[in-house]
């Protein structure tokens, strides 16, 4: 059977979600997937970005990460979305990309894929669960198979979020628990997609 194709699409302003996305890519690769790591375009005005040194630095540091395209979605068996929480919702930059997917959705090319999501907030709780659930609304419309991490690995009892990997950015950069939770979530999504793929070809 061909490897499971996995696209990780994320938005990160200062690097927290980028770190989780890279960990998710590692987890997917370890599970045997072909992986594309993609950021969405920055839509904030340059003056807003430059007003925050961490934001401006991260944008420069990740200049080499390819931007997500509709082909990255069409290609994938598994799609993981990563976003900071913005008042309990995904960041507008990620939503702007999602809102370009109408043609793929209408053609049925987003249905039947495995979807999962991860997030970060500045404070504890901070809208993390509602952000992941909000992305679930999109996955429902696409006809996706939603695969959360649940409590399916010991790390989940440390990270404490069965909806999706998450991190409190106000406590510093993601550490071992947050990164391993992202790796586990991606592995679980890939393993589920592999089982679905095998069943469809049987």
Helix (H) or strand (E) holding 84: strand 78-86
Return the pLDDT at 190: 98
Region 140-146: mean pLDDT is: 98
174: nearest Cα among 132, 118, 133 = 118
pLDDT at 202: 81
Q: And the tokens for 145? A: 């198979």
Mean pLDDT of 172-195: 97
Closest CA to 170 of 125, 122, 121: 122
For residues 151 and 162, the answer to whether their CB atoms sit within 8 Å is yes
Residue 179 sits in which domain range?
5-201
Burial category of 152 from C-beta neighbours within 10 Å (exposed 0-12, middle 13-18, buried 19 and up) = middle
Tokens 């960041």 correspond to 91
What's the CATH code of the domain at 164?
3.40.50.360
CA distance 6 to 4: 6
Mean pLDDT of all residues in 73-83:
98
Among residues 143, 140, 121, 139, the alpha carbon closest in space to that of 131 is found at 121
Structure tokens at 21: 């996305």
Residue range 156-169: mean pLDDT, rounded: 96
94-105 pLDDT, tens digit each:
999 999 999 999
Query: Predicted confidence band at 196 (pLDDT cuts at 50, 70, 90)?
Result: very high
How far is residue 186's CA from residue 155's CA, in Å, rounded to a whole number?
13
- Report the pLDDT value the prediction gives residue 1, as an integer from 0 to 100: 75
Number of structural domains in the chain: 1
């Amino acid at each position: 059977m061909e490897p499971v194709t996995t696209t990780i699409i994320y938005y990160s302003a200062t690097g927290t979600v980028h770190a989780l996305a890279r960990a998710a890519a590692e987890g997917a690769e370890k599970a045997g997937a072909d992986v594309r790591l993609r950021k969405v375009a920055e839509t904030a005005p340059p003056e807003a970005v430059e007003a925050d040194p961490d934001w401006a630095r991260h944008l420069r540091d990740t200049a080499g990460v390819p931007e997500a395209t509709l082909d990255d979605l069409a290609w994938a068996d598994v799609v993981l979305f990563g976003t900071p929480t913005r008042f309990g919702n995904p960041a507008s930059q990620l939503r702007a990309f999602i809102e370009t997917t109408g043609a793929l959705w209408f053609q049925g090319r987003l249905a039947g894929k495995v979807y999962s999501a991860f997030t970060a907030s500045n404070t504890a709780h901070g809208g993390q669960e509602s952000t992941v659930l909000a992305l679930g609304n999109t996955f429902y419309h696409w006809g996706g198979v939603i695969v959360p991490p649940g409590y399916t690995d010991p790390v989940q009892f440390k990270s404490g979020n069965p909806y999706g990997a998450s991190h409190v950015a106000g406590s510093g950069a993601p550490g071992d628990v947050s990164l391993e939770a992202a790796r586990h979530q991606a592995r679980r999504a890939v393993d589920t997609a592999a089982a679905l793929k095998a069943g469809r070809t049987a």
